[in-house]
Amino acid sequence: MKIEFIDSLSAISAAAWNAVAGTDYPFTRHEFLYALEQSGAADADSGWQPLHALIKRDGELIAVMPLYLKYHSYGEYVFDWAWADAYQRYGRRYYPKLLGAIPFTPATGPRLCVLAGEDSALIAAQLIAALRKKIDSTDISSLHILFPNALAGESFAQAGMSERWGAQYHWFNRGYSNFDDFLATFASRKRKNLRKERERVIEQDITITVLDGEQIGAAEWKLFHHFYELTYAKRSGHGGYLNAEFFRRIGAALPQHIVMTLAYWRGEAIGGALYFRDSTTLYGRYWGCVREFDFLHFEACYYQGIEYCIRHQLAHFDPGAQGEHKIQRGFEPIKTLSYHWLKDKNFRHAIDDFLLREQPTITEHIAAAAELLPFKQTQNDN
Q: For residue 145, which of 113, 115, 179 has the smallest C-alpha distance?
A: 113
Instruction: List all residues 6 or more positions away from 364 whose beta carbon is below 8 Å from its beta carbon.
Output: none
CB contact at 8 A, 128 and 120: no
Q: In whole angstroms, give the CA distance from residue 250 to residue 258.
A: 9
Q: Is the peptide bond before 66 cis (omega within 30 degrees of 0)?
A: no
The Cα-based distances of 159 to 80, 121, 154, 280 in angstroms read 21, 9, 9, 29
CB contact at 8 A, 276 and 27: yes
Instruction: Give φ, ψ of 376 to 5 degrees.
Output: -60, 140
Spell out the domains of the chain, with CATH numbers in brackets: 2-167+334-370 (3.40.630.30), 174-314 (3.40.630.30)
Q: In whole angstroms, give the CA distance from residue 289 to residue 300.
A: 10
Q: Give residue 29's pLDDT.
A: 98
User: To 10 degrees, the CA torsion angle through 285, 290, 296, 297?
Assistant: 30
Q: For residue 272, which of 282, 280, 281, 260 has the smallest C-alpha distance?
A: 260
Q: For residue 173, which of 181, 162, 164 has the smallest C-alpha distance?
A: 181
Q: Give residue 102's pLDDT.
A: 98
Strands, sheet with 2-6, edge to edge from the N-terminal-most edge strand: 2-6, 52-57, 60-65, 113-114
pLDDT digits (tens, 9 = 90+) for 334-372: 999 999 999 999 999 999 999 999 999 999 999 999 999
Q: For residue 100, which of 59, 159, 167 has the smallest C-alpha distance?
A: 159
Q: Give residue 382's pLDDT.
A: 40
* DSSP conformation letters of 337-359: EEEEEESSHHHHHHHHHHHHHHH
The Cα-based distances of 340 to 122, 161, 305 in angstroms read 19, 5, 33
pTM over 0.85: yes
Q: Which residue stretches of the chain have pLDDT < 50? A: 379-382
Bridge partner list, 54: 4, 64
Q: Give residue 46's pLDDT.
A: 96
Q: Give residue 320's pLDDT.
A: 93
CB contact at 8 A, 74 and 47: yes
Question: How far from chain centre, in Å, is Cα 352?
Answer: 24
Q: In whole angstroms, give the CA distance from residue 98 to residue 341.
A: 10
Q: Give residue 254's pLDDT.
A: 98
Q: In whole angstroms, give the CA distance from residue 259 to residue 275.
A: 5
Q: Give residue 289's pLDDT.
A: 96
Q: Give residue 59's pLDDT.
A: 96
CB contact at 8 A, 132 and 142: no
Longest dimension (CA), the chain: 65
Instruction: Give φ, ψ of 315 to 5 degrees.
Output: -80, -15
Q: What is the DSSP letter of 333?
A: E
